[in-house]
């Protein structure tokens, strides 16, 4: 990608009402565009980050046997009435609208009811189970406050997965494998060490659900952790009962500020009973399907990464999600030799399948190019200039020291 061809530009100013660091940096770097409070559009680089995060999640969900689908945003009112969740007093984040043809629709803030209903078409016998499906889908929620940038959107991207099992044992197997898959996801995203499986309030069926909470000052939650025992409890369920059950005392817990990056639920058979999702077992008996639901906030995770991995100069992307691995910054482009070398380096990197952003802009000062490079935050910076004399100055975004080496050596270093 040549930077001179980009329609997005870096900038100093951010919208006056934007208070969150993640959105400020992402807007300044041209990754996202703010439509209104809590609503953001993703520009080419922002989309590349989103796609990289999605790909990591996709690989891990496929690994545990889930199949990808994409459901609609428009949902039927009648369906949510069956589970008593159409009522605005019970679900306070609904966006709803009326059809010209008559009737009401809701815009999906979750897909638990629609997917349960849909599965009635595909699940009828014990032979059809278990089923695991997931999607990446924009959720719409009428959130009261939207002050956390892309970490709390009124429209945001979620990975939601649903499991349909024969019974508790069947369910539990998948539930455990999902916890492991989530750990792998957060490890690959570089936040594994700061992300805790946290006891949180459950649903109608179980006492607890499990949240995945990542330590960050930008979070909106507080949890209580014990690092040695690897126990984490959120505020809602922190009481004598829970402490006793987990065999821990209040004094052994440390209070930390976190962002909820994932949440998994065991529904038992309640939802299937409400929706009428049953299967017949080998004795021709009708049994309600055991359901679970598993979310990851894809766009929130992107915000958390920016909050955690940035410095006073800009973003510092982990290699696993960076839009480009290498930022090739060419200076002195009016010099014929330097220009030729830069073009050649660009082509070689592309041929080797290394994702490279090439700052080929003419008439932009070196200081400005470096400032932009730091703001954009690619893991590696390659500088080509008169001074590097046919070689490349290689620098990691996380370090201040650089070294001047041959192209061959530079490629070796980043690999
Ligand atoms: P919160 O408590 O932060 O409002 P939630 O418990 O309502 O979130 P879930 O319904 O569990 O959220 O959704 C699954 C995941 O989607 C969450 O763990 C979170 O990572 C993400 N998420 C939820 N709401 C938002 C939002 N408004 N903007 C961005 N991501 C969100
Ligand atoms: Mg939650």
> Using one digit for the tens of pLDDT, what is the confidence trace for 313-340?
999 999 999 999 999 999 999 999 999 9
Chain centroid to Cα 365, Å, comes to 35
- How far is the C-alpha of 275 from the C-alpha of 9, rounded, in Å? 50
| Residue nearest (by alpha carbon) to ligand 1 atom 21 | 297
Among 90, 137, 154, 263, say which to mutate for ligand 1: greatest number of ligand atoms within 8 Å of CB.
263
Smallest-distance ligand from the CA of 137:
1
| Residue nearest (by alpha carbon) to ligand 1 atom 1 | 260
| Residue nearest (by alpha carbon) to ligand 1 atom 18 | 262
Q: Are 296 and 185 in contact (CB under 8 A)?
A: yes
Ligand 1 pocket member 141 (CB < 6 A): yes
Q: Is the pTM of this model over 0.95?
A: yes
* Positions of the chain with pLDDT lower than 50, given as ranges: none
Ligand 2: distance of its center to the CA of 80 in Å? 19
Phi and psi at residue 30, to the nearest 5°? 80, 25
Q: Residue 270: in which H helix or E strand, if any?
A: helix 270-275
pLDDT (0 to 100) of residue 204: 67
Domains delineated in the chain: 8-311 (3.30.930.10), 326-414 (3.40.50.800)
Q: What are the residues whose beta carbons fall under 8 Å from the beta carbon of 44, sequence distance 6 or more?
A: 6, 8, 323
- Distances in Å between the alpha carbon of 310 and those of 26, 164, 207, 316, 325? 11, 40, 38, 5, 16
pLDDT (0 to 100) of residue 174: 98
Among 295, 296, 303, 306, say which to mutate for ligand 1: greatest number of ligand atoms within 8 Å of CB.
295
- How far is the C-alpha of 99 from the C-alpha of 107, rounded, in Å? 12
231 beta partners: 226
Ligand 1 pocket member 210 (CB < 6 A): no
Ligand 2: distance of its center to the CA of 296 in Å? 9
Smallest-distance ligand from the CA of 37:
1
- Residue in this structure with the two tokens 């984040």, named with its chain if needed: 93
Ligand 1 pocket member 53 (CB < 6 A): no
Cβ neighbour number for residue 214 with a 10 Å cutoff? 28
pLDDT (0 to 100) of residue 206: 85
Ligand 1 pocket member 161 (CB < 6 A): no
3-state secondary structure of 334: coil
291 preceded by a cis bond (ω within 30 of 0):
no
DSSP 289: P
Ligand 1 pocket member 148 (CB < 6 A): no
Copy the structure tokens of residue 93: 């984040």
């Amino acid at each position: 990608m040549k930077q001179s061809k980009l329609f997005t530009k870096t900038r100093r100013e951010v919208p006056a009402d934007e208070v969150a660091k993640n959105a400020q940096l992402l807007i300044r770097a041209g990754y996202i565009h703010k439509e209104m409070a809590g609503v953001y559009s993703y520009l080419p680089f922002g989309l590349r980050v989103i796609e990289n995060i999605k790909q990591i999640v996709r690989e891990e969900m496929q690994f545990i046997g889930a199949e990808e689908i994409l459901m609609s945003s428009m949902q039927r009112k009648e369906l949510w009435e069956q589970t008593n969740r159409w009522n605005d007093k019970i679900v306070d984040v609904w966006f709803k609208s009326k059809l010209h043809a008559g009737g009401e629709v809701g815009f999906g803030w979750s897909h638990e009811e629609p997917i349960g209903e849909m599965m009635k078409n595909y699940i009828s016998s014990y032979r059809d189970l278990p089923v695991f499906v997931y999607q990446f889908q924009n959720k719409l929620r009428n959130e009261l406050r939207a002050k956390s940038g892309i970490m709390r959107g009124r429209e945001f991207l979620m990975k939601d997965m649903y499991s349909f099992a024969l019974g508790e044992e069947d369910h539990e197997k998948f539930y455990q494998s999902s916890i492991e898959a989530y750990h792998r996801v957060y490890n690959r995203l570089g936040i594994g060490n700061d992300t805790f499986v946290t006891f949180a309030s459950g649903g109608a069926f179980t006492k607890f659900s499990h949240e995945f909470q990542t330590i960050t000052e930008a979070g909106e939650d507080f949890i209580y952790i014990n690092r040695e025992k690897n126990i984490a409890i959120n505020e809602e369920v922190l009481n004598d009962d829970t402490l006793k059950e987990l065999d821990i005392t209040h004094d052994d817990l440390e209070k930390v500020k976190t962002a909820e990056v994932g949440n998994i639920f065991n529904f038992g058979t309640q939802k299937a009973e409400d929706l009428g999702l049953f299967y017949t077992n080998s004795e021709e008996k009708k049994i309600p399907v055991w359901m679970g639901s598993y979310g990851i906030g894809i766009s929130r995770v992107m915000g958390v990464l920016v909050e955690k991995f940035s410095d006073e100069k800009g973003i510092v992307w982990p290699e696993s999600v960076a839009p480009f691995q290498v930022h090739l910054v060419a200076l002195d482009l009016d010099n014929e030799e330097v220009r030729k070398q830069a073009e050649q380096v660009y082509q070689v990197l592309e041929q080797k399948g290394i994702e490279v952003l090439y700052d080929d802009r003419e008439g932009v000062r070196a200081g400005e190019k470096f400032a932009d490079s730091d703001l954009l935050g690619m893991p590696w910076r390659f500088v080509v200039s008169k001074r590097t004399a046919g070689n490349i100055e290689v620098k990691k975004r996380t370090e201040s020291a650089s070294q001047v080496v041959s192209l061959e050596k530079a490629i070796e270093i980043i690999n």
